[in-house]
Chains A and B, each alone.
Chain A
Amino acid sequence: MARIGVYVCHCGLNIAGVIDVKNVAEYATKLPDVKVARDSTYLCSDSGQKMIKEDIKKHKLDRVVVASCSPRMHEETFRKAVNEAGLNPYLLDMINIREQDSWCHSEEPEKATEKAKVLIEMAVARATHLDALKKGKIKAAKSVLVIGGGIAGIQASLDLANAGFKVHLIEKSPSIGGRMAQLDKTFPTLDCSACILTPKMAEAGRHPNIELLTYAEVENVNGFVGNYDVTIRKKPRYIDEEKCTGCGECENACPISMPSEFDLGLKMRKAVYRPFPQAVPNVFTIDKRGIPPCRATCPAGVNVQGYISLVSQGKFKEAYELLRKFIPFPSICGRVCFHPCENECERGKFDDPVAINAIKRFVADYISTQEKEKPKPPLKRNAEKIAVIGSGPAGLTAAYELTKMGYPVTVFESLPKAGGMLRVGIPKYRLPRNAVDEEIQMIENSGVEIRTNITVGKDVTLEELLQQGYAAIFIAVGVHKCRKLGIEGEKLRGVIPSLEFLRKVNMGKKVEIGPKVAVIGGGDTAIDAARTALRHNAKEVLLLYRRSREEMPAYASGKEEAEKEGVRLHFLVSPKKIIGRDGRVVSLECVKMKLGEPDETGRRRPIPIEGSEFIIEVDTVIPAIGQSLDTTFLPKNVKLSQYVTIGVDQVTLQTNLPGIFAGGDAVKGKATVIDAIADGKRAAVSIDRYLKGKDMWAGREKKVSKAEEIPKVGIEKKPRQKMPLLPLDQRLNDKEVELGFTEEMAREEANRCLACGGCSECLECEKVCELAEVINHEQKVEEITIKVGSIIVTAGCEVFDAFLTPELGYGHYTNVITNLEFERLSNAAGPTKGKILCPATGKPPKSVAFIQCVGSRDKRFCRYCCRVGCMVTLKQAILVKEKVAHDVDVYICYNDMRAFGKAYEEFYDRARQMGIKFVNGLPSEVKVSLNDSLCFDVYEPNTNKLLEIQTDLVVLASGLVPSPDFAKLQRILRIPRSPDGFFLETHPKLQPLETPTRGIFLAGACQSPKDIPDTISQASGAAMKAAELLATGEVGIEPLIAMVEEDFCSGCRICESVCPYQAIEMKAKTVKGEKKNVAEIIAAACQGCGICSVACPARAIDMQHYKQEQILAQIKAAVQGGKRR
C-alpha cells in the first residue's frame, strides 16, 4: 500500500482562474492510496515546497504527485524538494494542468476542472508503480565545441579557455569575426566595432586553449552529454594555414576578380583572398567553385578560364605558357578548332558566349611576333624509344608529350612534309601554312624526330619497327580515302574526291577543274572544297546537300562565308547519276528529297521524291560525303571496329596488340583537331604507364564536375567581339579570311568571362609565393573527429533579403541600400573608404530617408521585431549628420521607435536634438521623381497628413532572419527551433541558455535577434553553463534507461538491431543455472528512448520510470476516470 500526497498548484490565477483547484484537491483525497491532498497558491515557492516536505515527514508519504505547470519546467525543482525531505526524487510524478489544461481550455472552466481530476487520477495510478532510482555518473571530456565564430562564439571561447577548458571554435567562413566585423560604429557609444572586436579576435587566435577551425563545418555529432563525438569537414583552402604569412603577393598576382561577400558585393576581391585585412587566422584562401563548363567540355581539358583571365590582365606570355601546357598547337587550334567550349559557356545563357577561340588565336599570334625562347631539351632520357605513325595533330601531340616525358620519339610521315590533315586537308585561307610550320618547328625543337617520305606498310612494316627496337607504337594516321557516291558515272573524268582535290591544291599540284563545279555533301570538307574551288578557276560552285539547312553539320561561319563568296547551297537534293560524254562529266542527274522520321543520329532521314528528277549541267563533280581509313598497311592481327577503323580500348587507346596504340582519325573515322590532340595526350599517358608497368586505367575518368550556375545579377550585357574578316573582293586567293582580334579586342572579350570556376588555376599565385609548398591546388576536403563534453551554438543569423520587398525599390534603384550596406559605406575600410556616397552618383547625399521594419513585424515575412533596427537607424542617422553634413535632411520613417536598452533612450534623445525628422508611418512604394531623386508618400496618422518625401538615398532597416544553415544544425544536433526559425531555448526565463538536449547551449542571434551587448552577455552565460557542467570531469546521467529481465531474455538480438546507440551488448551469463546469451544494457550509452523495449518479443526489456505497468495504469485511469463521471 502506497502513501501518496497530492498537491495542486494555483499558479496565482494561471490555473486557479480557470480550474476549481480546491474542488480538484478535495477530489484527490478520495482516490485510493492518497493520504493527503492540498492546494497552494505557488507550489514552486519556498512555502509551497516546505509544505510538501513537511507532509512527507508527517504523513510518512512514499509518493508525491504535483499538479501544476509543465514538468519540462519545474520537474527538477520538485524532485529536489522531495529529495530534501528524504524521498527518492523519482518517486515524484508531475502533471501538467497549466499549459495542457487551464491555458488551453480557459473558455470551458468546468470541463477543464474535470480534466484536471482525470489527470490527477492518472498520476496517482502511475505513482503507485514508481520505483526509486539512482542517478548514474559518467566521465566527461573537459572540452567544448563552439559553433560559429562571431562575437558570441569568440566571447564564449575566450571565457572557457581562460577557465582552463579546451575549446574548438569552428567557423564556416575563412575568418572569425562574424557580422560584427562588418559593422562600422556601434550604438549607443559610437565606438568603432573593429576596435572592440579585433583585439578579441586576435586573442582567440593565439590562445593556447583555443583551436580555431575556420573554413570548416560540423558534419555530424554522435554521443551524449559529456561525450560528444563531432565530425568536422575542413574545406580545402588550397593554402597551408600554418605556413602562409599573409603577405598578399598571391592576391596581387591573381587575375580573377569576384564580388566580395564581406563587402556585400560593393567591392571586388580576388579569387585568392582574405575577407578583410584583420582576418584571424591571417591567411589567404583560394575560392574554387568547380571545373568551369568550358574546361569540362574541352576534349583536351584545356584550362580555358585560366588563359582567358590572364589575357584580361594583359599577361599574354603567361597565357601562352599555360596554353602550351595543355596543347602544342595554340595557333592552329585558335583557327580551326570547332570550340565546343563556346557552346557550353555560361555567358551564352546571358548574352553571347565568350569568343574563346579567337582569344586563343590572339595569344598565339601575339607570341609569334615576339622573340621565343628555345625549348630546353628534356633533362632525363628514358631508354625506350617510341614510334609514331602519322604527323597529324594526334601523332605530333603524342610525340611532343612523350618527348617531354623523356622518351626518344620518331614520327614517320608518308608525305614529304609533316602536318597531316593540317597541311593537306584544311585550306590555306583558313589555316595559313606559316602557323602550321611554326608550331611543327617548335615540336621538332623540343626533340621530336620527324622522318618524312616513309610510308609505314610499304617502306617499313609495323613488325619491322618493333624489331628495330621501338618499345611502343602509336598509330595516328589520317583518313585520306573519300567514300564513294555509289552512283553511275563516278569513274568519269571530272569527278574528283574532295580530299584528293584539297590535297593536290594544298601541295601546290595542278588540278583540273571546270568552270561549273558541283560539290556533294554538307560537312566541313564539302564547304572547304567548295570555297577552294572558287579560289581555283571555278566560275560557279553549287553545293548539293540531301537534308535541309538545319541538319547541315558544317560549322556556321563557314556556311555563311561560303554563301557570301558565291557558293550556291542547294538543299534537299541528292545526285542520282553522273552523265558523261566522251569520258568527261557533262551533267548531273539529281532527285529532290523530303525529310522523314529521325534516324539513329537523331537527324531526319531524307527520302527521295519519286518523279522529281532533274538535270544540272556541270563539268566537275566533287563528292565530299565522308572519309574512310585505308587499312591495308595494318598487320592482319590488328582488330578493327565496326566502322572499319582501328579498334582500341576507349580509356587507354591500346589496340588488341600490347604496346600498339592508336588514336585520332585512325580510330574515330573523322576526328576534329581538338579530338586528335586529346587522343595524342591520352596515348602519351598510356604509353608512359605501359612502359613503366603501371595501371593504365587508374584515375582517368573524364572530369565532369561543372561549376554551379553562377548568378548573373548585376552583370551588364555586352555583345561579343566580332571577328574581323578579309573584305569579300580580296578573298579569291590563299589569304586568311579571319584576321584575328587586336589586343584591345582580346582583352575586352576576355573581360566578358564570368569566371565560373572562381580560381582559374592559372597558377600565377604559385609563381609569386616565396615560400615552399604553401599553395597546393590539389588540396582535398579533410574530415577530422574531436571529442567534446559540451557544445555551444553561436551560429548567428542572416539579414533579411530586401529583394523580397520590391515595392521599396531595392535592386531596382541603385540608391536604395540596406542598413548593412550602409555600414560598409560608412566603414573606413569599406568600398568608399568611409565616405557616405550615393552608389548611383558617387556624390554625398543631400537627404537620406531611413525606412524601418523591412521584413520585420510584417505578416508576409517575419512577425517578430528585429530588435536592433531602430537603434541601428538612429546610429546611422547620427553618422549621416556627423560625417556628411549637419544640414543633410534625415528622415526616419518608423512603426514604433524601440530604444529599450541601457543609454538607448538617451541616444534617441540625442538624435531628436540633432534635427532628424521622425515620421510615424511607413511608405508603401518608393519611386523616382521627375528630378531623378527618389520619392515616396507616407501617411502620418498622428497629424492625419500625407507627407511627400524626396530624397537622394534610401536606407532600408532590414530585419534579421534565421540562417539557412540552421536546418542542418538542427538535424545534426537534434535541438528544436521555435516557430520563427531560431533555435529554441528550454525555457525563456528558467533555462534561456539551454537546449532540451543536455550539454548543448545557445548564445547570440541564433537564439533570437539581439544586439551586441546582449549577445556578449549571453555568450559569457553559455560559457559558464558549459563550465559548470564539465567542471568536475563527470556528469550525472538520468537513470531513465532500459533494463533487462534476464530470465525472459532468449538472446534473439532483436533489441541489439534496433538500438540507435549501440547500447546493447550480448553477454554469456548463467541465469538460474542456465548458461545463455543475454542482452546487457550499457548504461552510459543508453539514452532511454524505449525502442528496444517495444521490439522485444519476450517482453524482457522494460524502461525505468516509463515502465509498462506504469503506463498501463495511466491508460486505465485516463479512460475509466473519465467514464465514471
Chain B
Amino acid sequence: MPQFEPTIISFLCNWCAYAGADLAGTSRLQYPPNIRIIRIMCSGRVDPIFILEAFKSGADGVLVAGCHPPSDCHYLSGNLEAQKRILLLKKILLQLGIEPERLRLEWISASESEKFAAVVRDMVMKLKRLGPSPIKNGDIRAT
C-alpha cells in the first residue's frame, strides 16, 4: 500500500508569506509537493468558511500564513484579525471531531524562505503521523 500523502491547502498573504514561498523557490529550497497554495491579499481575508470548506472537501491540513505581528502586516491589522479567528476556529474544529493540529497559523516574512520550507516539511511529517482527515465525502468518518 502506498504511503499516505496528505493534501494541504494553504492561504498565503501576497506581501509576506507568498513572497517567502517565492524566495524558497528562488533559493531552490526543497520541500514536499503536498501543498496547494492559494494567494490572497491578506491573512485577514481568510474566512473561516474557506477553512471549513477545505476540510469538508477532504483536505488533510490547512496552513494560513501572514506577516509577523504586531506591525509587519501590509494592511496594519489583518494578521491580528486572522489570529483571533483561527484561535476560535480551532475550538470549533475540535467540536466537529477534526484535530485542531490540522489547522496551522504561521507568520512568515518575505525573507523567511527557510522558515516556509521548514513549516511545510514539518506539517507534512505531522499530518502523516496523524493520518488522513476524519472527513470523507463531506461527512465525518464513522470510526
Q: Which residues of A contact B (CB under 8 A)?
A: 70-72, 96, 98-108, 111-112, 114-115, 118-119, 122, 970-971, 974, 976-979, 984, 996-997, 1040, 1058, 1060-1061, 1087-1091, 1093-1095, 1103, 1106, 1108, 1111-1112, 1114-1116, 1118-1120, 1122-1123
With known contacts A105-B33, A976-B16, A976-B19, A1094–B46 Cβ distance under 8 A: yes
A759 vs B30: C-alpha distance when bound (angstroms): 58
Measured CB to CB, the nearest residue on chain B to A1114 is: B38
Query: Judging by beta carbons under 8 Å apart, are B9 and A104 in contact?
Result: no
Counting chain A CB atoms within 10 Å of each CB, the highest count among B31, B41, B49 belongs to B41
Measured CB to CB, the nearest residue on chain A to B13 is: A1089
Asked if B129 is at the interface (CB within 8 A of a chain A CB), the reply is no
Give the contacting residue for B75; candidates A100, A115, A1091; CB below 8 A: A1091
Asked if B25 is at the interface (CB within 8 A of a chain A CB), the reply is yes
> Which residues of chain A come closer than 8 Å to B19, judged between CB atoms?
72, 976, 996
> Which residues of chain A come closer than 8 Å to B37, judged between CB atoms?
96, 100
Asked if B72 is at the interface (CB within 8 A of a chain A CB), the reply is yes
A1119 vs B10: C-alpha distance when bound (angstroms): 11
Asked if B26 is at the interface (CB within 8 A of a chain A CB), the reply is yes
Query: Judging by beta carbons under 8 Å apart, are B9 and A1091 in contact?
Result: no
> Which residues of chain A come closer than 8 Å to B45, judged between CB atoms?
1089-1091, 1093-1094, 1103, 1106
Asked if B123 is at the interface (CB within 8 A of a chain A CB), the reply is no
With known contacts A105-B30, A976-B16, A984-B111, A122–B38 Cβ distance under 8 A: yes
Interface size on B, residues (CB 8 A): 54
With known contacts A100-B37, A976-B19, A1115-B38, A1091–B77 Cβ distance under 8 A: yes
> Which residues of chain A come closer than 8 Å to B54, judged between CB atoms?
1115, 1118-1119
A1093 vs B81: C-alpha distance when bound (angstroms): 12
Query: Judging by beta carbons under 8 Å apart, are A72 and B22 in contact?
Result: yes
A1103 vs B72: C-alpha distance when bound (angstroms): 22
> Which residues of chain A come closer than 8 Å to B30, judged between CB atoms?
104-107
> Which residues of chain B come closer than 8 Å to A1116, judged between CB atoms?
53, 57
Give the contacting residue for A1089; candidates B18, B24, B26, B41; CB below 8 A: B41
> Which residues of chain A come closer than 8 Å to B75, judged between CB atoms?
1060, 1087, 1089, 1091
With known contacts A112-B33, A978-B111, A1089–B22 Cβ distance under 8 A: no
A884 vs B72: C-alpha distance when bound (angstroms): 51
Query: Judging by beta carbons under 8 Å apart, are A101 and B33 in contact?
Result: yes
> Which residues of chain A come closer than 8 Å to B31, judged between CB atoms?
104-105
A979 vs B114: C-alpha distance when bound (angstroms): 10
With known contacts A100-B22, A1091-B45, A1115-B38, A108–B53 Cβ distance under 8 A: no
Q: Other CB < 8 Å A-B pairs besides A100-B37, A107-B30, A1115-B50, 20 of them?
A: A96-B37, A100-B25, A104-B28, A976-B111, A984-B110, A984-B111, A996-B19, A1060-B75, A1090-B40, A1090-B41, A1091-B44, A1094-B47, A1094-B48, A1094-B85, A1108-B50, A1111-B40, A1111-B50, A1115-B53, A1116-B57, A1119-B9
Using a CB-CB cutoff of 8 Å, which residues 96-136 of chain B contact chain A? 109-113, 117
Give the contacting residue for A1106; candidates B15, B40, B59, B71; CB below 8 A: B40
A996 vs B7: C-alpha distance when bound (angstroms): 30
Measured CB to CB, the nearest residue on chain A to B46 is: A1094
With known contacts A984-B110, A996-B15, A1094-B45, A111–B81 Cβ distance under 8 A: no
Q: 9 A-B contacts, Cβ less than 8 Å apart?
A: A72-B22, A104-B31, A984-B110, A1091-B44, A1094-B44, A1106-B40, A1111-B40, A1112-B49, A1115-B59
Query: Judging by beta carbons under 8 Å apart, are B57 and A104 in contact?
Result: no
A71 vs B25: C-alpha distance when bound (angstroms): 13
A900 vs B133: C-alpha distance when bound (angstroms): 56
A728 vs B90: C-alpha distance when bound (angstroms): 84
Query: Judging by beta carbons under 8 Å apart, are A108 and B33 in contact?
Result: yes
Measured CB to CB, the nearest residue on chain B to A977 is: B111
> Which residues of chain B come closer than 8 Å to A1120, judged between CB atoms?
57-58
> Which residues of chain A come closer than 8 Å to B16, judged between CB atoms?
976
> Which residues of chain B come closer than 8 Å to A1115, judged between CB atoms?
9, 38, 50, 53-54, 57, 59
> Which residues of chain B come closer than 8 Å to A96, judged between CB atoms?
22, 25, 37, 39
A475 vs B83: C-alpha distance when bound (angstroms): 64
> Which residues of chain A come closer than 8 Å to B24, judged between CB atoms?
99, 104
A780 vs B57: C-alpha distance when bound (angstroms): 62
With known contacts A1089-B75, A1094-B46, A1106-B45, A1111–B81 Cβ distance under 8 A: no
A1115 vs B74: C-alpha distance when bound (angstroms): 24
Asked if B29 is at the interface (CB within 8 A of a chain A CB), the reply is yes
- Give the Cβ gap from A493 to chain B, nearest Cβ, in Å: 78
Query: Judging by beta carbons under 8 Å apart, are A103 and B110 in contact?
Result: no
Measured CB to CB, the nearest residue on chain A to B116 is: A104
A940 vs B115: C-alpha distance when bound (angstroms): 38
- Give the Cβ gap from B80 to chain A, nearest Cβ, in Å: 9
Interface string of B59-72 (1 = CB under 8 A from A): 10000000000011
> Which residues of chain B come closer than 8 Å to A103, judged between CB atoms?
25-26, 28
Query: Judging by beta carbons under 8 Å apart, are A1089 and B28 in contact?
Result: no
Counting chain A CB atoms within 10 Å of each CB, the highest count among B18, B45, B76 belongs to B45
A677 vs B32: C-alpha distance when bound (angstroms): 78
Query: Judging by beta carbons under 8 Å apart, are B58 and A104 in contact?
Result: no
A971 vs B7: C-alpha distance when bound (angstroms): 35
> Which residues of chain A come closer than 8 Å to B14, judged between CB atoms?
72
> Which residues of chain A come closer than 8 Å to B33, judged between CB atoms?
101, 105, 108, 111-112, 114-115
Counting chain A CB atoms within 10 Å of each CB, the highest count among B31, B47, B72 belongs to B47
Measured CB to CB, the nearest residue on chain A to B21 is: A100
> Which residues of chain A come closer than 8 Å to B38, judged between CB atoms?
122, 1111, 1114-1115, 1118
A13 vs B21: C-alpha distance when bound (angstroms): 20
Measured CB to CB, the nearest residue on chain B to A94 is: B39
> Which residues of chain B come closer than 8 Å to A108, judged between CB atoms?
33
Query: Judging by beta carbons under 8 Å apart, are B47 and A1108 in contact?
Result: yes
> Which residues of chain A come closer than 8 Å to B117, judged between CB atoms?
104
Query: Judging by beta carbons under 8 Å apart, are B74 and A997 in contact?
Result: yes
Measured CB to CB, the nearest residue on chain B to A1060 is: B76
Asked if B91 is at the interface (CB within 8 A of a chain A CB), the reply is no
A108 vs B31: C-alpha distance when bound (angstroms): 10
Query: Judging by beta carbons under 8 Å apart, are B58 and A1123 in contact?
Result: yes
With known contacts A96-B37, A974-B74, A1094-B85, A1119–B58 Cβ distance under 8 A: yes
Top 5 A-B residue pairs of the complex, sorted by shortest distance between their CB atoms? A99-B25, A1090-B45, A1089-B75, A976-B110, A103-B25
Counting chain A CB atoms within 10 Å of each CB, the highest count among B14, B25, B111 belongs to B25
A72 vs B16: C-alpha distance when bound (angstroms): 12
- Give the Cβ gap from B107 to chain A, nearest Cβ, in Å: 13
A1095 vs B59: C-alpha distance when bound (angstroms): 24
- Give the Cβ gap from A1111 to chain B, nearest Cβ, in Å: 6
Query: Judging by beta carbons under 8 Å apart, are A971 and B41 in contact?
Result: no
A996 vs B20: C-alpha distance when bound (angstroms): 13
> Which residues of chain A come closer than 8 Å to B109, judged between CB atoms?
976-977
A1112 vs B47: C-alpha distance when bound (angstroms): 10
Measured CB to CB, the nearest residue on chain B to A70 is: B22
Give the contacting residue for A1094; candidates B23, B41, B53, B81; CB below 8 A: B81
Counting chain B CB atoms within 10 Å of each CB, the highest count among A979, A1108, A1118 belongs to A1118
Measured CB to CB, the nearest residue on chain A to B48 is: A1094
> Which residues of chain A come closer than 8 Å to B73, judged between CB atoms?
974
Query: Judging by beta carbons under 8 Å apart, are B41 and A106 in contact?
Result: no
With known contacts A118-B36, A119-B36, A1060-B75, A1118–B7 Cβ distance under 8 A: yes
> Which residues of chain B come closer than 8 Å to A115, judged between CB atoms?
33, 36
> Which residues of chain B come closer than 8 Å to A1088, judged between CB atoms?
41
- Give the Cβ gap from B110 to chain A, nearest Cβ, in Å: 4
Query: Judging by beta carbons under 8 Å apart, are A1091 and B111 in contact?
Result: no
Measured CB to CB, the nearest residue on chain A to B74 is: A974
A1090 vs B46: C-alpha distance when bound (angstroms): 8
> Which residues of chain A come closer than 8 Å to B26, judged between CB atoms?
99, 103
> Which residues of chain A come closer than 8 Å to B41, judged between CB atoms?
1040, 1088-1090, 1103, 1106
> Which residues of chain A come closer than 8 Å to B28, judged between CB atoms?
103-104, 106
- Give the Cβ gap from B34 to chain A, nearest Cβ, in Å: 8
A342 vs B39: C-alpha distance when bound (angstroms): 64
Give the contacting residue for B25; candidates A104, A978, A1060; CB below 8 A: A104
